[in-house]
Amino acid sequence: MTVKEKQARLLPLFEKLTALTHERIPEDQLDPRLKGLAHLPRGTLFSCFHEEHLEEATHLYEILFGAKDFEDFMILAKQAHDLVNEGLFVYAISVAILHREDCHGVVIPPIEEIFPDRFVSAETINHAVKEAANHPDKDIVVKSEETGNILDEEYKLAYFREDVGANAHHWHWHIVYPATWKPLVMKQTKDRKGELFYYMHQQMCARYDCERLSIGLQRMIPFHNFEEPLEGYAPHLTSLVSGLNYASRPEGFSLRDLKDVDVQEMIRWRERILEGIHLGYVIDSTGTHIPLDKDHGADILGALIESSYESKNAGFYGSLHNWGHVMMARVHDPDGRFQENPGVMSDTSTSIRDPIFYRYHRFVDNIFQDFKLSLNPYTKEELDFPGIEVVNVTVTAKVPNLVTTYLKEAELELHHGIDFGTTHSVKAAYKHLDHEPFAYNISVENKTGGVKTATVRIFLAPKHDELGNLLEPDDQRRLAIELDKFVYELAAGKNVIAHDHRDSSVTVSKIYTFSQIQAGEGVHEDGSESCSCGWPEHMLLPRGNFKGMEFHLFVILTDHDQDAVEGATTKGSCADAFSYCGVKDHKYPDSKAMGFPFDRHIVNHDIHGFLPSNASVTEVKIKFTG
């Protein structure tokens, strides 16, 4: 069977899931392997942070993964579709498709089209329903309604938090890296999964702070105190599977005990993790001390804090991060007496809409930073690439070293996810940030006399803080966002590296729409599909400001002979955004710590003192043109 045929058979399972009724496949027709599933009722919001939900989803994706061939997989998938919770089904089948050998090349339709109600405001969908009913014989485009106003200053960042692509990236990241991934059952180890959990979310926070500085807000104040009153947030989303709104959080609510876990437990888990970091080791479930060294510390901590299946001791260190999401999502109804829906923090496709997401993840990140502080700052030798000098770097755009950003119109098709009672297209028009095309032009002198292979690392960080003061390098590093990483062969002597922003290793290459996939596009018979994981290309750069905000562009060349990882590749399937998403089925293609060289404390007060001659800093401006 061709990939195209498989794709065509799988696609209907993703359609109009919000319209599924509570009717289930009768018990006597059920494949015995699926017996015991369907704990989570239809019409309930699935949370991949909630232990019980995740347990059922894991059970299902392992069954689907274990199907003996594609026909067997289809039988199970169809029955699961008619049996389990809607959100749980999509999560589990997506994990299975992504990892089954016989599904290579199959593209999972975009989550924003499967569940548009998680991405588009309730007002907009309501408007679309009315328009579609009034004009059943024509295509409809409705304008997305705003979800707040400037009385709430966080509203100014709604364009970032509610970005369709950024939310989809976060969902897909957690599909590629499920918390419950069992390497033996799934027959594959996810290389440096814990470290990537830390790094990808650290980068989301850094990007958010760059954005805040761009629009004139101060950097976020990390969540810290479990008793603190939280900011309010109203998501304006209605879950069509449940008919209920994603809960709002009125201003001033703080975390409350849940049935499964209480706030004191969370505090204890944090203390135990911090104690481990300060002692330099964690204690596994057999009582053995596991050192938190420079090579594995971040990875071990990532699994421990998330927590994932690979936590060394979930009984002792708990599941700080996951329960935090659930607790935040339930502050309005902690014991469930009102049977309210949770807030957006409970799900990976909606959580980054809430400002508390970033403050909470900064809190998590600060724990990792505590660990990084226990490591020595990088020495000159560790940073150096002898004989290689970066002579000059220019960002080429219409005006050199100045890149413009703007808001651009886009449309999201709603009718694959929502039954409007017409066969016509029903779209929501919205605006997203974008930037003009640009490229890096890097002049390098190779004085070694021979050919050298370099890893080129490109980062961007704001130059000034919220008050207009120059940022200290150690503060700047927390805001440094990765723009690209690639390998380049340097000839002896002078080299000019020209590299287009579209080839970035942090952004996803192409997202195919549901209709394009239906038409057979995006199907890779050679199995070289994209996993839809990756930061959206249109958000590669922060917004900047009207005046032209000053940033530092860092270019660092390191010796690829030392960075190379045996068996790693940056080609093939799901490799397009390897910086944040790794490469599916392969090792992470860089032996350096993620975020190198900005992952460790910088003692220099002048950034030039920190950077060796194989690195450079260039002043660039980002100008928002509206």
Q: Which residue numbers are catalytic?
A: 306
398-417: contacts with ligand CUO (CB under 6 A):
none
**Residue 62 is encoded by which pair of tokens?**
């392992």
Give the nearest distance from C-beta 5 to ligand CUO in angstroms: 34
User: Closer to ligand CUO at the Cβ: 194 or 597?
Assistant: 194
434-453: contacts with ligand CUO (CB under 6 A):
none
Give the integer Cα–Cα distance in Å for 193 and 199: 10
User: Closer to ligand CUO at the Cβ: 117 or 365?
Assistant: 365
Give the nearest distance from C-beta 580 to ligand CUO in angstroms: 11
361-400: contacts with ligand CUO (CB under 6 A):
361
User: Closer to ligand CUO at the Cβ: 366 or 425?
Assistant: 366
User: Closer to ligand CUO at the Cβ: 190 or 201?
Assistant: 201
Using CB atoms, what's the residue nearest to ligand CUO?
351
Q: Within 13 Å, how many C-alpha atoms sit on residue 597's CB side?
A: 26
Applying CB under 6 A, does 169 fall inside the site for ligand CUO? no
User: Closer to ligand CUO at the Cβ: 223 or 624?
Assistant: 223
User: Closer to ligand CUO at the Cβ: 70 or 198?
Assistant: 198
Give the integer Cα–Cα distance in Å for 139 and 23: 31
Report CA torsion sign: 136, 141, 143, 144: positive
CB 195, CB 299: distance < 8 Å: yes
Q: Which one of 94, 307, 311, 348 is in contact with ligand CUO (CB under 6 A)?
A: 348
Give the nearest distance from C-beta 155 to ligand CUO in angstroms: 22
The burial class, CB within 10 Å (0-12 / 13-18 / 19+), for 606 is exposed
Give the nearest distance from C-beta 190 to ligand CUO in angstroms: 15
Binding residues for ligand CUO, rule CB under 6 A, total 8
Give the nearest distance from C-beta 172 to ligand CUO in angstroms: 11
Applying CB under 6 A, does 351 fall inside the site for ligand CUO? yes
User: Closer to ligand CUO at the Cβ: 70 or 580?
Assistant: 580
Applying CB under 6 A, does 201 fall inside the site for ligand CUO? yes
Contacts of 471 (CB under 8 A, 6+ apart): 461, 462, 463, 464, 465, 479
CB 461, CB 486: distance < 8 Å: no
Give the integer Cα–Cα distance in Å for 198 and 253: 27
Give the nearest distance from C-beta 618 to ligand CUO in angstroms: 32
Residue 399 identity (one-letter amino acid): V
Give the nearest distance from C-beta 459 to ligand CUO in angstroms: 22
Give the nearest distance from C-beta 197 to ligand CUO in angstroms: 7
**Residue 625 is encoded by which pair of tokens?**
């043109």
Q: Which one of 50, 99, 169, 170 is in contact with ligand CUO (CB under 6 A)?
A: 170
Q: Alpha helices of 82-162 — where are they, by DSSP H?
A: 86-99, 111-114, 122-134, 158-161
Give the orientation angle of helix 263-279 with respect to helix 355-373, to 10 degrees: 30
CB 257, CB 504: distance < 8 Å: no
Give the nearest distance from C-beta 199 to ligand CUO in angstroms: 12
Applying CB under 6 A, does 7 fall inside the site for ligand CUO? no
**How far apart, in Å, do the first and last CA atoms of the chain sit?**
49
Question: For strand 140-143 and strand 426-435, is the pairing parallel, antiparallel, or unpaired?
Answer: parallel
Give the integer Cα–Cα distance in Å for 521 and 2: 14
Query: Which of 169, 105, 171, 94 is CA-nearest to residue 579?
Result: 169
Contacts of 247 (CB under 8 A, 6+ apart): 329, 330, 332, 333, 340, 341, 342, 343
| Per-residue three-class SS string for 142-204 | EECCCCCCCCCHHHHHHHHHCCHHHHHHHHHHHHHCCCCCCHHHHCCCCCCHHHHHHHHHHHH
Maximum alpha-carbon separation in the chain: 75
Give the integer Cα–Cα distance in Å for 396 and 139: 41
313-342: contacts with ligand CUO (CB under 6 A):
321, 325
The site map against ligand CUO for 281-320 (x = CB under 6 A) is: ----------------------------------------
Phi, psi (deg, nearest 5) at residue 549: -80, 140
Give the nearest distance from C-beta 260 to ligand CUO in angstroms: 18
User: Closer to ligand CUO at the Cβ: 6 or 169?
Assistant: 169
Question: For strand 281-283 and strand 289-291, is the pairing parallel, antiparallel, or unpaired?
Answer: antiparallel
Query: Which of 298, 214, 294, 209 is CA-nearest to residue 476?
Result: 209
User: Closer to ligand CUO at the Cβ: 237 or 611?
Assistant: 237
3-state secondary structure of 453: strand
User: Closer to ligand CUO at the Cβ: 144 or 351?
Assistant: 351
Could you list the residues that contact ligand CUO (CB under 6 A)?
170, 174, 201, 321, 325, 348, 351, 361
